[in-house]
Amino acid sequence: MKAINPATGELIKEYPEHDSEQVKNIIGQVHQEHKSWRAVPFSRKSQLMYGAAAILRKNKEEYARTMSLEMGKPITEARAEVEKCAWVCDYYADNAEKFLSDEVIASDASKSFVAFQPLGVVLAVMPWNFPFWQVFRFAAPALMAGNGGVLKHASNVPGSALAIEQVFHEAGFPDNIFRTLMISSRMVEDVIRDNRIVAVTLTGSESAGKNVASIAGSELKKTVLELGGSDPYIVLEDADIPACVKTSATSRMINTGQSCIAAKRFIVVEKVLDQFTEQQVEIIRSMKVGNPLDEDTKVGPLARTDLRDELHEQVQKSIKKGALLLTGGKPVPGPGAFYEPTVLGNVTKGMPAYDEETFGPVAAIIPVKDMEEAVAVANDSIFGLGGAVWSRDLKKAEEVARRVESGAMFVNGLTKSDPRLPFGGIKKSGYGRELSHYGIKEFVNIKTIWIT
């Protein structure tokens, strides 16, 4: 298993893969550890989770550098990602006991209540784009609920995977309550079918989600899927355009555009189309592309050259179908998987930039006549993860937010995940929720207890 720097194409380090016997042993160890871990008091689990948060903050520079080297994340964003992981650890250390306390419900029994009990060992299949955050937003609630976890991370971020495992070890968690499986995708099916695995959570592509859900379904095992997104950013005629442009450009280019909830389709009412387009092109054109370890880099390389090439093909096909290339539009010459920050105008249905998820630094501007058409275009997608609407009329903006078919909508702000709020999508963006009290309850047995 090789970690390759996408900024240079150079090998960082090779890691040995686990064979099938090692995988079975690891799962067995986590399964055995879980039997005692589930009975550990919340106070002790919280103490350990606070410790994990402290280790993340202490080693922030080391972990941020690992992410930047392995998948090209700009170093300032990598540091913020580590901080966010510490936050989610603190959040569940603070709140897990409250979230999972018995819920008393009046009935004709002398006592009836709902208890929330851990399920067992959960498999997490995680992606490379937020190599720490995607894992911790699963692991913190799952471990606090009393579950065990095994991680199959993306093959291009093995250093990040092992670093996360080490965080929990250093914090004092039992050695085998959270383990990393150094395996390729072809071994995932056998792991899912292992009787000691009770459920699966996956963040990744639509195709990966279908495969995992199909296998888990055949075993009657629960899944939570967070898949792709093509988030609409609706810009109404009364929007604060300068504020909108600044936020939406940041949202589109965060993590070099490799975010499921990045702004991807800018649906702009004609009355402000020219103003929005001019300012959007100006700010995106000014973003520095370069070494992700440089403090002033805003756009790093894509995680792999094949991903850059796929993105370029989407751009070229959209242009051939009538999209206007306003800036960018080609790979950056030289080593690394760099792609120019790109803006496409006059994007319409039938173009890849309209119909597909573009996972990279490409913004698609879609003109519409009015609010009604904007909502219709926003909903004209197979995806339904997040989105935003911009308007000075907050009542109207809230109406639009309610009508857009997605798991989240933000008004006059950047779409993001927050430990305090549920996160997840609908349609082909997946199902289930992470974070908040909803997320921690995805992997517990919601048990009714009735006493005569």
Report the C-alpha gap between 151 and 380 in whole angstroms.
35
Rounded average pLDDT over 57-84: 98
Within a domain: 386: yes
Within a domain: 419: no
How many domains are there within the chain? 2
Whether residue 248 is found in the same domain as residue 216: no
Whether residue 203 is found in the same domain as residue 256: no
CATH number at residue 372: 3.40.309.10
Which pLDDT belongs to residue 49? 99
Whether residue 376 is found in the same domain as residue 278: yes
Whether residue 206 is found in the same domain as residue 259: no
Which pLDDT belongs to residue 87? 98
| pLDDT band with cut points at 50, 70 and 90 for residue 219 | very high
Q: Is 244 a catalytic residue?
A: no
Write out the residue range of the structural domain in which residue 66 sits. 2-227+429-451
Which pLDDT belongs to residue 355? 98
Q: Is 313 a catalytic residue?
A: no
Whether residue 192 is found in the same domain as residue 302: no
Which pLDDT belongs to residue 191? 98
Rounded average pLDDT over 348-365: 98
Q: Which of 226, 340, 357, 434 is catalytic?
A: 226
Cα–Cα distances in Å, from 412 out to 16, 87, 274? 47, 24, 20
Which pLDDT belongs to residue 10? 97
CATH number at residue 220: 3.40.605.10
| pLDDT band with cut points at 50, 70 and 90 for residue 434 | very high
Whether residue 144 is found in the same domain as residue 9: yes
Which of 5, 3, 4, 7 lies closest to 290, judged by CA? 7
Q: What is the pLDDT of residues 255-313, one digit of tens each?
A: 999 999 999 999 999 999 999 999 999 999 999 999 999 999 999 999 999 999 999 99
Which pLDDT belongs to residue 350? 98
Which pLDDT belongs to residue 417? 97
Q: Which of 85, 89, 244, 260 is catalytic?
A: 260
Report the C-alpha gap between 184 and 186 in whole angstroms.
5
Which pLDDT belongs to residue 338? 98
- Buried/exposed 253-267: b ≥16 CB within 10 Å, e otherwise: bbbbbbbbbbbbbbb
Q: What are the backbone angles phi and psi of residue 53, rounded to the nearest 5°? A: -60, -40
Rounded average pLDDT over 321-344: 97
Whether residue 267 is found in the same domain as residue 352: yes
Within a domain: 285: yes
Which pLDDT belongs to residue 251? 97
Which pLDDT belongs to residue 282? 98
Which pLDDT belongs to residue 288? 97
Q: What is the pLDDT of residues 89-137, one digit of tens each?
A: 999 999 999 999 999 999 999 999 999 999 999 999 999 999 999 999 9
**pTM of the predicted model as reported, rounded to 2 decimal places:** 0.97
Q: What is the pLDDT of residues 381-414, one digit of tens each?
A: 999 999 999 999 999 999 999 999 999 999 999 9
Which pLDDT belongs to residue 331? 98
Within a domain: 50: yes
| pLDDT band with cut points at 50, 70 and 90 for residue 247 | very high
Q: Radius of gyration of the chain from Cα atoms? A: 22
Which pLDDT belongs to residue 28? 98
